Amino acid sequence: MIYIIAEIGFNHEGDINAAIEMIEAAAQSGANAVKFQTFKAFDIALPSSQHYDIIKNGEMSYEQHSELYLKAKDCGIDFISTPFSPWAVELLEKLEVHAYKVASMDCTNKYLLKHIAKTQKPVFISTGMASLNEISDTLDYMDKHNSGQITLMHCISMYPAKAEHLNLDIIPFLKKLFNISVGYSDHYPGTMACLAAALVGSEVIETHFTLDTTTKNGDHFHSADPKSLEKLINDIILLRQMKGNKRMILDRPDRQYANDYRRGLYFSKQLSKGHILSEDDFLFCRPASELSPNHLEYVIGKILDKDVKEYDIVEDCFINKQ
């Protein structure tokens, strides 16, 4: 099954109760993990930035992280976070987090990647804005530093991303090129892009999550709400069932109906012994019989060895082979 990450990020806007409610809702919707962001605003932007105040509202203390971690554990889902500095990695290590997420902005940030690699925890690395050479360089760097298992997360760093920019076919390409697990981190409104990513082979789906998509600020407007997340997960389960696997051709479930649905060879009229058979003497209809339409050339021109009735099955014993 595809691993589903509900990206709460800083959609809680510093409200611990809202964050707790989001964890509960994500778990009830069927997510495998919730993902937060661990930062101080100055880790991300200068105070002069237009987004600084919004980002600062999303800061959380160690105690708040701990409360959310325990809530996720109680709900039976993994707690993941994106650290934006080495101190954030240290904080998350105290919580024994399940895995780390690397934001697209830090895909090439070896200063931070080194600290994450040292934990040897699984790492999800978003590839927004990155070239193939940069992705390759990051993977080599993480390998040299003995990092935990890495999953690349195809991502378009636009908010929201446009359909024509998603390029989801890169997912199987990256899997083959780097021989690595590849997921999809979504910034497209709704859940259709996530479903499409699942269709092309994404092993992980990360989608922003909120309780109300009409909430201003943050990532609410291009997030999934509980109802749409639940539908996405159910759709993915159904999609996986539809997709099946190549081995099913060896034991296909409809094989048992072949005799019922394929055509047999029947006489189209009453004929007498000694009649020389022609194409007009036959019907090709269901169910299958001893002879099929593929045997027509074999029976045409042969002589009937006995009388037959209309709709009788054409059997080899009816035909004089001399």
Residue 284: give its domain's CATH number: 3.90.1210.10
Q: How many domains does the chain have?
A: 2
Residue 55 has pLDDT above 70, yes or no: yes
Q: Is the pLDDT of residue 315 over 90?
A: no
Tokens of 307: 């009388």
The answer to whether position 250 is within a domain reads no
Tally the residues of the chain: 322
d(CA 161, CA 222): 9
Same domain, 78 and 106: yes
pLDDT tier at 244, thresholds 50, 70, 90: confident
User: 95 with 113: CB under 8 angstroms?
Assistant: no
In this structure, the answer to whether residues 227 and 280 fall within a common structural domain is no
At 201, which CATH number?
3.20.20.70
Residue 127 has pLDDT above 70, yes or no: yes
The answer on 161 and 36 residing in a single domain is: yes
Q: Are residues 239 and 309 in the same domain?
A: no
Distance CA 182, CA 36 (A): 20
* Residue 32 and residue 129 in one domain: yes
**275 and 160, same structural domain?**
no
pLDDT in tens, 156-204: 999 899 999 999 999 999 999 999 999 999 999 889 999 999 999 999 9
- Residues 87 and 170 occupy one common structural domain: yes
Residue 288: which domain range? 257-320
Give the pLDDT band of residue 10 (cuts 50, 70, 90): confident
Where would I find the beta strands (DSSP E) of 43-126? 78-83, 99-102, 123-126
Same domain, 62 and 154: yes
Rounded Cα gap, residues 52 and 184, in angstroms:
27
76: left (phi over 0), alpha (psi -120 to 50) or beta: left
Average pLDDT of span 30-45: 95
pLDDT at 322: 55
- Sequence-distant (6+) residues with CB within 8 A of 107 are 125, 126, 127, 128, 129, 130, 134, 135, 138
In this structure, the answer to whether residues 190 and 69 fall within a common structural domain is yes
Burial of 190 (0-12, 13-18, 19+ CB in 10 A): middle
Contact by Cβ (8 Å): 69, 95 = yes
Q: Count the Cβ atoms, other than its own, within 10 Å of residue 169.
A: 11
Look at residue 206 and tell me if it is in a domain. yes
Shared domain for 173 and 269, answered yes or no, is no
Task: Give yes or no: residues 183 and 300 share one domain.
Answer: no
Determine, yes or no, domain membership for 64: yes
